[in-house]
Amino acid sequence: MATSLQLAMASSLAPSSSSSSPKRRSFKSFCSISSRNAATIPMPPLNPKDPFLSKLASVAAASPDPVLPRSSDSDTPPYLDLFDSPKLMATPAQVERSVSYNEHRPRKPPPDLPSLLLNGRIVYIGMPLVPAVTELVIAELLYLQWMDPKEPIYLYINSTGTTRDDGETVGMESEGFAIYDAMMQLKNEIQTVAVGAAIGQACLLLAAGKKGRRFMMPHAKAMIQQPRVPSSGLMPASDVLIRAKEVITNKDTLIKLLARHTRNSIETVSGVMKRPFYMDSARALEFGVIDKILWRGQEKIMADVASPEEWDRKAGIKVLDGM
């Protein structure tokens, strides 16, 4: 193909038999010198089995127009009008699109990322539980149940609950209870996974997964705390008291639900909730919030670890009675 292009350029630059002006002769002599110099430049090797070059050659051969047409203006040097003719550049570009782009280009715009996760039956809570998040999560749960009421649903949680990380209230406690009630009403098995943080109401959602299928990443955090009183602003004292009573009611409800799903007593949960109670993955497993830590290779590592009694026996330590 490169040889044909060189022949085309050589034939175009050949001197004409008719007389021409001195300006034209000087240009021809310049072109002849350039062609002689170009002939000494070695051409890079071409792969005859290259599919793109083969396709390009076939399209160029089938094109009714010449690959490099002569300029109709005698005052214009040959081939410099390529930039004025977009059709000339369309042949290789069209081949490139037909070979590598159109074959893999989607026929419609791709969906957003939550839709792709939803296709894998994954519901991801990555924001505080504000009304917009609650609406989307419940809608996704109901949709997945409608699609298949027997397949499990995977709920990934990375949320600070109804508060921000600094403790400021951003949503009512009913937002978390709404998602919890939807989870309890679904026919599907819901597997929960904590990634990052599960704080407050988000910790309740983590513990509300199916027993044996509640997971946590090794470096994730869980925390339970008392509900916060929303900003009262310029409310009268009577309205502030009503809000305080409602917060106490939500606190009692949260304690009962956490005690049910963690299998701890109400007194135990109420005692640790007096102050923010942070849990790493190991502590959350011990407290009953989760059932397993998603640590790749953990089962083999823990199976090779000896028991405390075995460590003491090998170390020659004798445990005294009553100690």
Same domain, residue pair 179 and 277 = yes
Give pLDDT, residue 214: 94
d(CA 204, CA 269): 12
Does one domain contain both 78 and 221? no
194/66 same-domain check:
no
Residue span of the structural domain in which 51 resides: 47-105
Which domain CATH number covers 202? 3.90.226.10
- Specify whether 185 is located in the same domain as 239: yes
CB 216 within 8 A of CB 202: no
Establish if 315 belongs to a structural domain.
Answer: no
Reported pTM: 0.59
Residue 317 phi/psi, 5-degree rounding, is -95, 130
135 and 281 share one domain: yes
* Angle at alpha carbon of residue 290, lines to 284 and 292, rounded to 5°: 105
Considering the domain architecture, whether residues 92 and 240 belong to the same structural domain is answered as: no
Is residue 264 a part of any domain in this protein?
A: yes
Q: Which of 274, 275, 270, 272 is nearest to 283 (CA)?
A: 272
Per-residue pLDDT tens, the chain, 323 aa: give them: 445 544 444 444 444 444 444 444 554 555 555 555 545 556 556 676 777 777 777 776 776 555 445 555 545 454 445 445 544 444 444 444 444 445 555 566 556 777 788 888 999 999 999 999 999 999 999 999 999 999 999 999 999 998 887 778 888 888 999 999 999 999 999 999 999 999 999 999 999 999 999 999 999 999 999 887 776 667 788 888 888 888 899 999 999 999 999 999 999 999 999 999 999 999 999 999 999 998 766 555 556 666 777 777 777 776 665 44
Rounded-to-integer distance, Cα 105 and Cα 93, Å: 16
Domain count, the chain: 2
For 171, the 3-state DSSP assignment is: coil
Specify the pLDDT at position 5: 46
Tokens standing for residue 229: 């009183």
On whether both 268 and 140 belong to a single domain, the answer is yes
Instruction: Return the pLDDT at 7.
Output: 46
| Amino acid 114: pLDDT | 77
Maximum separation of any 2 CA atoms in the chain, in Å: 122
Whether 29 is covered by a domain: the verdict is no
SS3 content of the chain, % helix, strand, coil (to 5): 50, 10, 40
Strand spans (E) along the chain = 122-125, 153-159, 190-199, 214-216, 221-224, 277-279, 292-293
144 shares a domain with 224: yes
Spatial CA neighbour of 182 closest among 145, 157, 219, 156? 145
The alpha carbon of 28 is separated from its chain's Cα centroid by a whole number of angstroms, namely: 61
**Shared-domain flag, residues 100 and 128:** no
CA distance 39 to 69: 22
Q: What is the pLDDT of residue 269?
A: 94
Compute φ and ψ for 103, nearest 5 degrees.
-70, -25
Instruction: Please indicate, yes or no, whether residues 73 and 188 belong to a single structural domain of this protein.
Output: no
Containing H/E element for 310?
A: helix 308-315
Look at residue 2 and tell me if it is in a domain. no
As a whole number of angstroms, the distance between CA 22 and CA 13 comes to 16
The reply to whether 70 and 159 lie within a common domain is: no
